[in-house]
Chains A and B, each alone.
Chain A
Amino acid sequence: MSQSEIVLRVEGVTKRFGTLTANSSISFSLEKGKVLSLLGENGAGKTTLMNIIFGHYTADEGHVEVFGKRLEAGNPAEAIALGVGMVHQHFTLADNLTVLDNVILGTESLWRVRQARAAARQKLQSLSQEFGLEVNPDALVSALTVGEKQRVEILKALYRGARVLILDEPTAVLTPQETDQLFATLKDMIARGLSVIFISHKLGEVMQIADRIAVLRHGQLVAEFPVAEASREIIAEKMVGETIPQPKRTEMEPGEPVLQIAEASARDEQGQAVLKKVSLTLRSKQIIGMAGVSGNGQKALSDLISGLLPPTEGQVAVKGEAVRVFDPRSMVAKGVGRVPEDRHLQGVVGDFTVSENLILEDYTNPRFSRRGWMRAGEIAAHARKMIKAFDIRGGGPETIVRGLSGGNMQKVILARVLENNPDIILANQPTRGLDVGAATFVHEQLFKAKERGAGVLLISEDLEELLAVSDQVVVMYHGQVSAPMPVEDVTLQQLGLLMSGETFTAAGTEM
């Protein structure tokens, strides 16, 4: 290691949140012109570590050195000055400003903006030429695609003189093609002497781009090796700690249609057309996986099936019966089980107890309330039963749900949805943010429901998940849904082209 320059060194960093140790004496270093990939499950401590390097958090023990200089704790400005740039998982751009203004914002002093802007434009243009990051400086950020927004974030970091770039889950929001483009850019930047820390939980990508791999598990650095010496199996084992057997999809003959959507269109609150003549048939004993770059109408379709968004035209039929009233309660009554996209926002009332959340869709049932009075005993008994059946850990019936881990919170939602044996299950990003164990549990439950005779619509951004779990795959693009394809006939590459709209065609009706 002595022959190459160390640009960043992490020395014995420990960070605790209450009783949780998010990082436990972690040390590693990054050489100039190299890509270090930080791998780990959700909750392994990757983001915490990056926030410490960038100065958002202060470490309880240990320190960070950049180009041999020790960083003062808790000071992002110093990290930036020393050449650390960070691209967050969730973009930090102002939608209503142009690309140029976003780059200037927080970088240049706002004194004499006009002159600063002219100089900044030149610098930005030379940067984007140098690194092949094409973007129109005068475009409004709100008009950019996700891939372009990411380019702006990278440009912003470069503009501030970043020589070490930290990318937090940069590919989570990209299509496979956009990912390839990002990797080409990164290789360009490395060739010019930049160093990159690449955070991800996707193995395949890491093998493609990284020079070294550091694996985090439960806040500890469990392995670090050159990518040449690694195999997928070894890395996967290091990440998870033990191998969890993945449930296998069983081939089943699909039954009667349980959910039929025929040429349904819908508009959102702003009057934008979010669903355009969507047709989809879901049968019993079938899992249909829906791929698509987020923001292409998945939310609207999910709201339609959840009973939150009535269609402006077209038909929805549940078990052969046309739906006339679109509200959540009647959809649930018809046998639609719904796992919402955002657990915290729609799935649970965070300040309610586990038992209250478990009856939230069913509290008017005479089992749980009579003549307006809640039956506390029954509700608690029900909660104890569900906690046992779904292995909800981290508390009892009276525990406030906010304090549960993501996986256990999701189990509360699954328990609520599945205990009534719904014929249709809408699962929107059901494993987002869950560790492998919890995600496996979710998949097991979906398979169980399918074997019992339910139809499942699984909306996910994780293409590997979709291909592993679904019987058929559809793609959503610009408010339209493609014809279903048998999962055996689909490749990642094909899905990517469909998701980017290149080869996309919407399905016709089949009702």
Chain B
Amino acid sequence: MILEPRTNTPLWMTISAPVLAVVVVLILSGGLIAWAGAPLLESYVALVKGAFGSRFAISETLVRATPLILTGLAAAVAFRAKLWNIGGEGQLYMGALAATYFGTGLVSLPMPLMIPFLFLVGAIAGGVLLLVPALLKTRLKVDEVVTTLLLNFIILLLANYLLFGPWKDPMSMGWPQGAPIIDEGVLPNLVAKTRLHGGLIFSLIAAVCVFILMTKTRWGLEIRAVGHNVDAARFAGIPINKTVIRTALISGGLAACAGVTEVAGTKGYLTLDISPGFGYTGIAVAMLAGLNPLGVIVAALFIAGIYNGADSMSRTMDVSNYIADVITAASLLMVMLAVMLTRMRIRWR
């Protein structure tokens, strides 16, 4: 078996490859569902219904996609510059901590100012958090995979300390949760009787802004050049370190905004379970999207739908909801394989 590069890729192939990959995944995962003893077709119907089958299901999928779009964008921007930011989870909590610190009474502004202010302080906090590994990388060549990953645990433990200690809301009857965000800072509800909040609008705008940043601006050119070929970029006179630092600030800021949408939107206050790994799942979102900022929206909706659908499938069909993790992971592998096959052809010998 030999792989040979294709000279050109037809458009139909580029479009159909990810779709086919997902179909293959659903067939493969079908084996697991059947093994768990549930009727296959009904299970998948339950999954799709749970993801997109009703007004409520759609709103819940959108609520879940909101932070995933932001952490997905954070990974997409950083990975484009080959800055391996695995610390989205820590940056998310950093944003949540900043929003809690400033948003629970310390600062009080009218709503049109208060909400942007919370996103701003959150983004700064997340950006500064990623600045540390970025500086260690540019100054001392410390591997950022290790530093960003380990910072996740440090920030999570910091949040633990604060919520069990000084920041614990006295009205929470002993639960480790922060005081509620003041009314002016709460993201407005978009559709009555759902949890859908303004964070979705914010994340969609963010995706468009990142797309424009990457394709139309000088910074975007620099980020892409550094990521594609750092030697050629250096030779051409592109400031490498400045670009890496700038990328870190943008990426950390985006991931932190996901923390703000959860504290000021979905929950209303900080808890230790605001994120079921949104920071890590953002990496999968970005990879599925091929690091394309607009593709991140689609990928985030897909993964959010799979998780919500699998939750509801597990309730109605008595199948473990870990199937969602299997489907997500398998989709990632299959889509990457499919993308590779659009660039290479296999010859059998």
B-binding residues in A (CB < 8 A): 17-19, 58, 73-74, 306-308, 327-329, 331-332, 338, 340, 345-352, 356, 360-361, 363-364, 369, 372-374, 376
Contacts and interface: CB of A to CB of B under 8 A. Distances in A.
> 8 tightest CB-CB pairs across the interface, nearest first?
A329-B237, A328-B237, A18-B7, A360-B236, A346-B235, A349-B229, A351-B228, A361-B236
B234 interface: yes
A351 B218 CA distance: 17
Contacts of B225: 349, 352, 360
A350 B229 contact: yes
Contacts of B239: 329
B231 A345 contact: yes
Given A308-B235, A328-B235, A347-B232, A58 B218 contact: no
Contact of B7 (A19, A73, A340): A19
Given A349-B228, A349-B229, A352-B224, A364 B218 contact: yes
Given A328-B237, A352-B225, A373 B216 contact: yes
A260 B52 CA distance: 71
- Interface size grouping (class) on chain B: 20 to 34
Contact of A345 (B6, B221, B232, B238): B232
B341 interface: no
Given A356-B221, A372-B219, A374-B217, A332 B237 contact: yes
A74 B349 contact: yes
Given A328-B234, A349-B232, 9 more contacts: A17-B4, A327-B237, A328-B235, A329-B239, A360-B238, A363-B221, A369-B218, A373-B216, A373-B218
Contacts of B233: 349, 360
A338 B225 CA distance: 18
B216 A374 contact: yes
A18 B228 contact: no
A253 to B, nearest CB: 33
A75 B221 CA distance: 45
Q: Which of B6, B224, B225, B239 has the most CB of A within 10 A?
A: B225
Nearest to A333: B237
Contacts of B4: 17-18
Q: Which of A74, A329, A331, A349 has the most CB of B within 10 A?
A: A349
Interface of B is mostly: helix
Contacts of B221: 356, 363, 374
B232 A363 contact: no
B7 A373 contact: no
Contacts of B231: 345-346
Nearest to A376: B216
9 contacts: A58-B2, A58-B349, A347-B232, A349-B225, A360-B225, A372-B218, A372-B219, A374-B220, A374-B221
A361 B237 contact: yes
Nearest to B230: A349
A74 to B, nearest CB: 6
Interface of B: 2, 4-7, 216-221, 224-225, 228-229, 231-239, 349
A426 B349 CA distance: 47
A19 B6 CA distance: 10
A306 B237 CA distance: 10
Interface of A is mostly: loop
Contacts of B228: 349-352
Contacts of B216: 373-374, 376
A328 B236 contact: yes
A372 B349 contact: no
Contacts of B349: 58, 73-74
A275 to B, nearest CB: 18
A340 B236 CA distance: 10
Given A349-B225, A352-B228, A373 B217 contact: yes
A17 B234 CA distance: 33
A329 B239 CA distance: 9
A19 B4 CA distance: 12
B252 to A, nearest CB: 20
A306 B235 CA distance: 8
Q: Which of A307, A328, A356 has the most CB of B within 10 A?
A: A328
A360 B218 contact: no
A80 B217 CA distance: 55
A329 B233 CA distance: 11
A429 to B, nearest CB: 14
B223 to A, nearest CB: 12
A338 B235 contact: yes
B83 to A, nearest CB: 17
Contacts of B219: 372
A145 to B, nearest CB: 27
A492 to B, nearest CB: 32
A338 B239 CA distance: 17
Contact of A363 (B6, B218, B235): B218
Given A19-B7, A360-B225, A308 B218 contact: no
Contacts of B6: 18
A345 B220 CA distance: 21
Nearest to A327: B237
Contacts of A356: 221
Contacts of A351: 228-229
Nearest to B215: A374
Contacts of A347: 232, 235
A347 B225 CA distance: 12
A367 to B, nearest CB: 13
B307 to A, nearest CB: 33
A346 B233 CA distance: 8
A422 to B, nearest CB: 14
Given A19-B7, A58-B349, A346 B232 contact: yes
B229 to A, nearest CB: 4
Contact of B232 (A73, A329, A360, A364): A360
Contacts of A19: 7
A299 to B, nearest CB: 12
A356 B224 CA distance: 11
B249 to A, nearest CB: 15
B101 to A, nearest CB: 32
A27 B235 CA distance: 45
A328 to B, nearest CB: 4
Q: Which of B5, B224, B229, B232 has the most CB of A within 10 A?
A: B232
A373 B234 CA distance: 21
Contacts of A373: 216-218
A234 to B, nearest CB: 36
A172 B269 CA distance: 70
Nearest to A379: B221
Nearest to A361: B236
Contacts of A352: 224-225, 228
Contacts of A369: 218
A19 B221 CA distance: 32
A274 B236 CA distance: 23
